[in-house]
Amino acid sequence: MVNWIKDIIRPKIKTMFSKIKDVPENMWVPCPKCSTLMYRKDLHNHLNVCPKCDYHLFLGVEDRFESLFDDGKYSLLDLPKVKDDPINFKDLKKYKERLETYRAKTKSQDAIGVASGKIGKNDAVVCAFNFEFMGGSMGTFVGEAILKGAELAVKKNAAFIVIPASGGARMQESVLSLMQMARTTVAVDKVRDAGLPYIVVFANPTLGGVSASFAMLGDIHIAEKGAVIGFAGKRVIEQTIKQKLPPEFQTAEYLRNQGMVDIVVHRKDLRETISNILKMLMHNK
């Protein structure tokens, strides 16, 4: 005699759950703004922009380079190594352990990558931040990378483009991270002294010591749609001044209206926008 629960129902339940286990956990991505569930592959093909509300999610360094350089072709710059934990910092976890965790997670050495290639047939060196690596925070590695990127731009007689997406200076490196504000400013000066254009593309978010240094020194400021740009966070400012700020405060669109951002663009139009700017600025180079 057939036992329906034991011989039929239970095997079907086991089969059903085994199929669910085979489905990758990260196949679907929720939009942080409208909560729409997006198929990861479709989201990637859409440059990590929500198709429903146009919210711009984080974009990886390699995806950023592929979307900007002509035909997706570029050369990565080998960046010099720096001391991982210069002050032996520890909070809930050792800083060295945090670095190991994020390197394994992101497959990147640190929060920035540097590449050179052509954008609209014009030579360009691009430094792109990875917010998923410790919030894109700026430590000695990032400072060194921007300096080397600027030197490469001068050597190649190329435009220098930086795309920050960062919460600011990296607290685990203390005063050494704050020193990168000065070093990155020196990097910008090297490009300016060579008569080359320096373009900043604000990605979401750009805050703290990053916005207070090289990010606000561009010859031209471009911002991705909806990017949050500022020094202190909105909530901190409201608590300090005891006033409610406008909903659009610190957004790319708000800063454009205040004259701090020149152009706000959708990510899909970014390459064409930069290409047109370089055609105007680099025609004598």
Gap between the Cα atoms of 130 and 133, Å rounded: 6
Mean pLDDT, rounded, for 128-156? 98
pLDDT tens digits along 85-125: 999 999 989 999 999 999 999 999 999 999 999 999 999 99
DSSP string covering 64-91: HHHHHSGGG-EEEPPPPP--S-TT--BS
For the cut 50, the answer to whether the pLDDT of residue 258 exceeds it is yes
Confidence at residue 173, expressed as pLDDT on a 0 to 100 scale: 97
pLDDT of res. 285:
58
pLDDT number for residue 268: 97
Bridge partners, 74 (sequence order): 117
Is the pLDDT reported for residue 16 higher than 60? Answer: no
Backbone angles phi, psi at 217, to 5 degrees: -110, 10
> What does the pLDDT average to over 131-156?
98
Query: C-alpha distances in angstroms, 199 versus 160, 171, 209?
Result: 6, 27, 18
* Whether residue 130 has pLDDT greater than 50: yes
The helix/strand/coil state of 227 is coil
73-91: average pLDDT = 94
Strand 220-224 relative to strand 198-202, pairing:
parallel
Confidence of residue 1 (pLDDT cuts 50, 70, 90): low
Half-sphere CA count of 167, side-chain side, radius 13 A: 9
What is the overall mean pLDDT for the chain? Answer: 92
- Which pLDDT tens digit goes with each residue over 192-214? 999 999 999 999 999 999 999 99
The predicted pLDDT at position 20 comes to: 45
- What is d(CA 108, CA 128) in angstroms, rounded to the nearest whole number? 12
The pLDDT of residue 170 is above 80? yes
pTM, whole model, 2 decimals? Answer: 0.89
pLDDT at 55 over 90: yes
